[in-house]
Structure 1
Amino acid sequence: MRDHRWQLAVILLAIATLGGLILIIPPKQVQTHNILHHLFFLPLIASGMLFDWRRVVLITIWAAGAHAPNLWITWDRNPVRAADNAAEFATFSTAAIITGVFSERERRQRKRLEETKRQLEEVYQELQQNVEKLRRAERLSAVGQLSAGLAHEIRNPLASISGAAGILMRANAPPADVEDCLQIIQAESTRLSRLLTNFLEFARPRSLRLQPTELGPLLESVIALAGHQAAAAHVLIECHVKPGLDLVQCDPEQLKQVLLNLMLNAVQSSPTGGVVQLRARREGFRLILEVTDEGRGIPPELRERIFEPFFTTRENGTGLGLAVAAKIAEQHEGSLAAFANDAGGATLRLELPLREVPAS
């Protein structure tokens, strides 16, 4: 507002100065009066750019009063020129008023845009705050679910250990019961250790250690590790590797962990005499690793849930193996998914990007 007052004062002073010069300068200096006449255009247009059209009209009236002596002096000497000057001044005034109209519209539009921008910024800030609150709520919810799942999984082994310890505390416990209790304590302790190890691997996964890896030997080591359990369950393991996958860029230890988990799950799901297949192939710039079994399969409504922490369909499962495997796949910028196969069993498909192997 104060700036507008100064601007108005400067424009009025400029017009008054031009009018004063017209009165001071002798009429015979026609060229000078002609220049002063055209200089009126500057404050008029400036007023149109700075103020609304109503104020421009008042400034135009003020300018007309200041310009009147010029017209009067010119009329005595050259009426035609005076009429031209009057027409030019009317044109100046009209141009100033029109400029004031458009300038006012532009200022209103700018004000609306600024108000809209301010509102959008407020909405954006509020949205950011709500998103952050939602993320915190999701993290708290996830922590709560993990804690509840961990507590549930720990409760049963602890109950078994507590019961076995109670029997051992009896002075007259039979030797056979003592042996059974010791086996229970050892088995449940091993189960708790495996549970906590898997939980830590899920909650605090280590960073990737990518390196050139020979895929064939890695798959052979996975088959060798899973072979003992497969032999005990009378399950056959087959491996099929398509050409062109000699060397891949990956974290071999984590990839081996994922594949071993998938293989052991497949063996446990397979019937006696069943076949578990491990297949590897290349699709474009993706490495596809599939583990297929001939078990009962996974119901469609559970194919997403099996990757949730502590979700398991097995009595002795921890529900963390596939969750850890999915997280490792995500670290590799890949994916892990479950599908049904033609044999009625399940196929777990691991897809990983084929990164460029550095030159040795």
Structure 2
Amino acid sequence: YMSIRRSERAMADLLAEKGSSLIMAFESALRTGLRGETGVRLQVLLEEMTRSPDIEFVAVTMPDGTIVAHSERTRLGETLRMQGEEVDEDRMTGLAPGDDVRWTTIRMEGRRVFVVYRNFLLGRENWSKDLPPPTIFLGLDVSPFEITRRQNRSYAIILSVVAFLMGMVCLLAVSFAERARESRRRQFRAEGEVHRLEEEVRRREKLAAIGTLAAGVAHEIRNPLSSIKGFATYFRQRFGDGSEEREAADIMVREVNRLNRVITDLLGLSRPSDVKPRSVCLENIVAHVLRLIRQSAGERHVGLSCRTSRSVPNVFVDVERLGQALLNLCLNALDAMPDGGTLTIAISRARESVCLLVRDTGSGMTPEIMEHIFDPYFTTKGSGTGLGLPLVHKIITAHGGRISVRSRPAVPAKDGNGSVGGETVFRIWLPLAPEEESGSARR
């Protein structure tokens, strides 16, 4: 744009300088030829000047627009025409002629011309100061100026088209890049979903194998265990208090009970889930579980916190099975905080579900451990069976919900006493009750 403006300004300055030189040459010729017949010589010079192909007309007018000299003899005594109308004093005042050359591109004398004009200086010394001086107009062929302007416009259009095409190419490149990023994100999410499904398949395969094993040997193991427990109870009653024999019998009873619990958990993990969901208030289940663990939490100096968002809808769950899953999570959280801490349970409304959060400030877990926490018989506790979290996962899945875990392992304290900074957060998304789902759809 600046280049076009400079080019047009340069062309206009060139034409204006040419017109100024012609006016000066015209005045000089008149001064040289003043020998008496001034009017005749003035008209002859005007007619001779317009024989040049690039000069359209020359006119000398009074301030009211009356023509006193013109390159066309027939125009003498008439009024100068500009933009198809006769020029009056107001229009002449608007042109503001002076001793310095001015120029404009306008329609004058019936044609579009490049007009150069100023006060006519010939005989200025004999002119009365009370009378305004006449004005000389020199109309030059505007075609060079118009050609330059058309070329500049074509150049500007070409540049605009190129800039537009470059902008479109950039937009297309950005669009393709965004699509590529979106494709990579979808691929990443798909790969994550495939990985999750593969893990789910492996987990189900393990559960199926465990179920086959448990179904085949559960009764065969429980029958001998019942006999062992009966004989151990019998012998414990035969020996006195404090004797080694009675202590050995007590150990046998405890171990039989532990084995019986392992078999019960194993059967519960392997058999098909028999949930009986109904519309319930999740706060009631949480309150019941907190009552069960309150004494154990007090013994371990663990603070309990429960937060519930406003207007939390009912969920469609089996009260007993979900309570069992939540109790397992809370007991694991207490085991992770032997030196005290805070156990937080929060309930909030999600988009199409209810989110149940269980957070502890215990020792946390490393990423390697988190990869296997839902695998059967994987445990980091010496007395654990490794079936608690797999059972939790199975119960949540049976309800059509989801469970996720995020953990940060604790680091040793600066004073060397214990560790700080550990945290584990379980999030469970549970389905809404049917009436809540229909209300959400209406909203």
The TM-score normalised by the length of structure 1 is: 0.51
The whole-number CA distance in structure 1 between the counterparts of 2:255 and 2:361 is 30
Match of 2:434 in 1: 356
The whole-number CA distance in structure 1 between the counterparts of 2:303 and 2:398 is 31
Match of 1:194 in 2: 261
Q: Which amino acid is 2:209 matched to?
A: V
Match of 1:126 in 2: none
Find the residue that maps to 2:304 and give its secondary structure: strand
- Of residues 335-344 and 138-147 in structure 1, the stretch that sits farther from structure 2 once superposed is 138-147
Find the residue that maps to 1:206 and give its secondary structure: coil
For 1:197-249, what per-residue CA distance to the aligned partner results, in whole angstroms no more than 9, with x for missing partners?
Answer: 11111111432211110222211001011222212222221111111225222
Find the residue that maps to 2:344 and give its secondary structure: strand
Match of 1:235 in 2: 302
| Residue 357 to residue 226, structure 1, CA distance change in 2 (3 Å) | farther
Deviation at 1:286, TM superposition (A): 2.1
| Residue 304 to residue 182, structure 1, CA distance change in 2 (3 Å) | same
Moved over 3 A (4+): 138-142, 144-148, 171-176
Match of 2:152 in 1: none
Q: Which amino acid is 2:261 matched to?
A: R
Is residue 298 of structure 1 aligned with residue 376 of structure 2? no
| Residue 174 to residue 206, structure 1, CA distance change in 2 (3 Å) | same
Match of 2:423 in 1: 345
What aligned pairs does 1:37-48 form with structure 2 within 5 A after superposition? none
Is residue 289 of structure 1 aligned with residue 367 of structure 2? no
The whole-number CA distance in structure 2 between the counterparts of 1:216 and 1:172 is 50
| Residue 143 to residue 344, structure 1, CA distance change in 2 (3 Å) | same
| Residue 144 to residue 332, structure 1, CA distance change in 2 (3 Å) | closer
| Residue 332 to residue 141, structure 1, CA distance change in 2 (3 Å) | closer
Match of 1:143 in 2: 209
Q: Which has the larger radius of gyration?
A: 2
The whole-number CA distance in structure 2 between the counterparts of 1:293 and 1:267 is 8
The whole-number CA distance in structure 1 between the counterparts of 2:394 and 2:426 is 14
What aligned pairs does 1:1-360 form with structure 2 within 5 A after superposition? 139=205, 143=209, 147=213, 175-340=242-407, 343-357=421-435
Contact persistence 1:146–1:309 (CA under 8 A) = no
Contact persistence 2:304–2:344 (CA under 8 A) = yes
Deviation at 1:139, TM superposition (A): 4.6
For 1:245-276, what per-residue CA distance to the aligned partner results, in whole angstroms no more than 9, with x for missing partners?
Answer: 25222211111111111001101111323111
Q: Which amino acid is 1:202 matched to?
A: L
The whole-number CA distance in structure 2 between the counterparts of 1:140 and 1:278 is 31
Deviation at 1:281, TM superposition (A): 0.9
| Residue 352 to residue 203, structure 1, CA distance change in 2 (3 Å) | same
| Residue 253 to residue 221, structure 1, CA distance change in 2 (3 Å) | same
| Residue 146 to residue 302, structure 1, CA distance change in 2 (3 Å) | farther
| Residue 187 to residue 172, structure 1, CA distance change in 2 (3 Å) | closer
The whole-number CA distance in structure 2 between the counterparts of 1:210 and 1:235 is 32
Find the residue that maps to 1:217 and give its secondary structure: helix
Q: Which amino acid is 1:270 matched to?
A: M
Find the residue that maps to 2:275 and give its secondary structure: coil
The whole-number CA distance in structure 2 between the counterparts of 1:355 and 1:144 is 33
The whole-number CA distance in structure 1 between the counterparts of 2:314 and 2:337 is 31
- Of residues 186-195 and 324-333 in structure 1, the stretch that sits farther from structure 2 once superposed is 186-195
- The answer to which structure has the higher strand fraction is 2
Contact persistence 2:357–2:426 (CA under 8 A) = yes
Find the residue that maps to 1:315 and give its secondary structure: coil
The whole-number CA distance in structure 2 between the counterparts of 1:218 and 1:144 is 30
User: Taking CA–CA contacts closer than 8 Å with sequence separation of 6 or more, which of the two structures ends up with the larger relative contact order?
Assistant: 1
Contact persistence 2:210–2:270 (CA under 8 A) = no
For 1:137-180, what per-residue CA distance to the aligned partner results, in whole angstroms no more than 9, with x for missing partners?
Answer: x85895169859x99xx9xxx9xx89x97xx79x9999432232
Deviation at 1:183, TM superposition (A): 2.6
Percent identity, please: 32
Deviation at 1:315, TM superposition (A): 0.9
Q: Which amino acid is 1:240 matched to?
A: R
The whole-number CA distance in structure 1 between the counterparts of 2:211 and 2:397 is 21
Q: Which amino acid is 2:330 matched to?
A: M
The RMSD of aligned alpha carbons is 3.5
| Residue 189 to residue 172, structure 1, CA distance change in 2 (3 Å) | closer
Contact persistence 2:211–2:270 (CA under 8 A) = no
| Residue 292 to residue 285, structure 1, CA distance change in 2 (3 Å) | same
Contact persistence 1:271–1:294 (CA under 8 A) = no
